[in-house]
Structure 1
């Protein structure tokens, strides 16, 4: 039985929303970032990285306090405004190829602790601690956890009907996506939505494992304060069928001392290796892998597909167990500097270019995991290898803020 709650969100003034919201800070190139910070005084990036040129010289505590101060300035100047009462939001992102629609709400720390909200990725303690300190010092979060739920016809019908009403925001971002936000503040409608989620046994984290873990750590640290907002964290709840799950492809700096011929021979033990020459080939079904090596593409088809668990049958795990670890000597997927990851929404020509440039010797293309695999892993308390999935949609910073 899942619990969601409305909250008194902070959001941009209606006339400034397209100027305030931004992509995640890490997604900007240095030139793009400089342009935004130099020419757009309303960008939320000014809050996320105040005095960005000198950021690395300051302690974490000093940086976090600067974020808090800049955030308060945006509120004082009415660039950001707080809702008069607790609300939900319905949010749609329309890109060139897809439409994503979900509900923005507070989700329960208790549900997270009791495994009503299920996880499939591991977290790094230092990152969880770092973001917990960030939340504690800044007093807000604008990056919701992406959570998926089993599709419910009643909810889908409500969403379709609700989208016919006048939105609070309708704007386009520079990447040509269209964003629409509806505010849900009617008490009866809020109660009905809560009842719909009370009928759902399990929710699944799609993206945001570190953010949710940090929220739990902050709750445990500060719950004696009596701050009720700590009992929840902001989430973007979206039906399973609306998610877009990409793979993370892998590129490796070297062949661990093997020649191309030796490597291909070693691969043939577990895979049927087919030379695709210059064909831009990537797998179209499970247990198949693409490879770019020595100026040519290869198709690798796994010979033995009999596995005892969903984790063993996961393509990212298979690549690790059959290739990356035994042949290329990579044991730590998270920290080994010889391996890099390319999200599957990038063209495979990028992998070709990076290998052709000489910085890397081999690239691997995977078939994306399914939502069924993700749920089976979470239901069995199993953890995916690092960088197994890249999941859309991605939320814009500064669109909705949850205060702590």
Structure 2
């Protein structure tokens, strides 16, 4: 697999905490605007360029995207960001609560994505691809890193980990309590060891950022069509990502809340559920403690749901996922939610918000019932990707998220 060092556009040490921002797709326009009110340097002005306007705009409008490019130019012209003097790899470590994960920023091959050597597990939406591909083309940069992983090998991992020592280039804690540490690896011999080591790796896997990856590839194809004599070494043939060993990463639960019981009384609903699940009332708050246990919160009470024998095929990697078991045995047949991607009666709550958010949503009356899920495992995700299958919607919530604006890949 190809790992390619690059000359990053990056903030000065003094500006890193002001510029770095969450990925564009995990904040709303309103949230990004609120940050920008007190922080004119925020990278949201690049990644969410609509906030540069004080009126509603079309995010596909090149004039809007041009505002993002101009803000990036402003950051450079005023010395808040600069371009590295030589190709580097950027060792990236995140500390969140009791968890530490160490990987690195580099650029990765568009062709390996096209050839499915960079494996996916999610469907992407054309409209979101269109918007981000146009963003790449107008801003002439990959502004948000894709989140990649590889199957851990100690001999490769150690080539990375040994550089996560000494005085870092950046060390800051963001508004969510995540500490971000970056070391700049400039030594050509050490970079070559890492690059050469990954040549023996068979595949990379997208953990998060499927639309960013797809958009980078779409933009690259456009650039190739405009430059038929391209050599393959141009910057547009590579996209920005952070790569981690799979055993460093953490997936949180991705929970469900539903607005009604599909016309049933609570007794009727519980009776239906008990046909497919062992339903056990639980004292206090219940958070699933293992695979194939689901928490259900209804009218102030918690229940543990365990699927009965015959409700799923353990040999089918998709059907045996807890999110599939819930969908196929309860959400669709009992609550009538056939397509969770589009049904307005269901919503999804990332585990970062905690079980308390499920209780709040149901107790508020906005939703009738909540389902607390046990997190999908990294091993299940890898198996799905290796089999060329697609995860059900809202199956994984990776935390901590990568920051945008720490390094930018110019095209």
TM-score (norm 2): 0.93
Alignment partner, residue 171 of structure 1: 172
How do 1:4-403 and structure 2 match up within 5 A? 4-25=3-24, 27=26, 33-34=32-33, 36-48=35-47, 49=49, 50-56=51-57, 60-224=61-225, 225=227, 226=230, 228-277=234-283, 279-304=284-309, 306-403=313-410
Q: What's the CA shift for 1:347?
A: 1.4
- Aligned CA distance change for structure 1 residues 397 and 291 (closer, same or farther; 3 Å): same
Q: What's the CA shift for 1:215?
A: 1.3
Q: How many Å separate the matches in 2 of 1:327 and 1:26? A: 32
Q: How many Å separate the matches in 2 of 1:214 and 1:160? A: 30
Q: What stretches of structure 2 of length at least 5 have no aligned partner?
A: none
Q: What's the CA shift for 1:155?
A: 2.7
- Aligned CA distance change for structure 1 residues 155 and 55 (closer, same or farther; 3 Å): farther
Runs of 4+ with deviation above 4 angstroms: 25-35
Q: Secondary structure at the match of 1:162?
A: coil
Task: State the number of aligned residues.
Answer: 402
For residues 45-79 of structure 1, what are the alpha-carbon distances to aligned partners after superposition, in whole Å with 9 as ceiling and x for unaligned? 33333524324367622211111111111111111
Q: Secondary structure at the match of 2:353?
A: coil
Q: What stretches of structure 1 of length at least 5 have no aligned partner?
A: none
Question: Are the counterparts in 2 of residues 333 and 385 from structure 1 also a CA contact under 8 Å?
Answer: no
Q: What's the CA shift for 1:395?
A: 1.2
For residues 203-255 of structure 1, what are the alpha-carbon distances to aligned partners after superposition, in whole Å with 9 as ceiling and x for unaligned? 11110111111111112222132371121111110011110011210001111
Question: Are the counterparts in 1 of residues 173 and 180 from structure 2 also a CA contact under 8 Å?
Answer: yes
- Aligned CA distance change for structure 1 residues 40 and 126 (closer, same or farther; 3 Å): closer
Q: What's the CA shift for 1:185?
A: 1.7
Comparing 96-105 with 172-181, greater Cα deviation is found at 172-181
Q: Secondary structure at the match of 2:69?
A: helix
- Aligned CA distance change for structure 1 residues 203 and 28 (closer, same or farther; 3 Å): closer
Q: How many Å separate the matches in 1 of 2:137 and 2:92? A: 27
- Aligned CA distance change for structure 1 residues 359 and 144 (closer, same or farther; 3 Å): same
Q: How many Å separate the matches in 1 of 2:208 and 2:31? A: 25
CA RMSD, aligned part only? 1.9
Q: How many Å separate the matches in 2 of 1:373 and 1:111? A: 22
- Aligned CA distance change for structure 1 residues 30 and 375 (closer, same or farther; 3 Å): closer
TM-score (norm 1): 0.94
Question: Are the counterparts in 1 of residues 282 and 302 from structure 2 also a CA contact under 8 Å?
Answer: yes
Question: Are the counterparts in 2 of residues 250 and 363 from structure 1 also a CA contact under 8 Å?
Answer: yes
Q: How many Å separate the matches in 1 of 2:221 and 2:255? A: 37
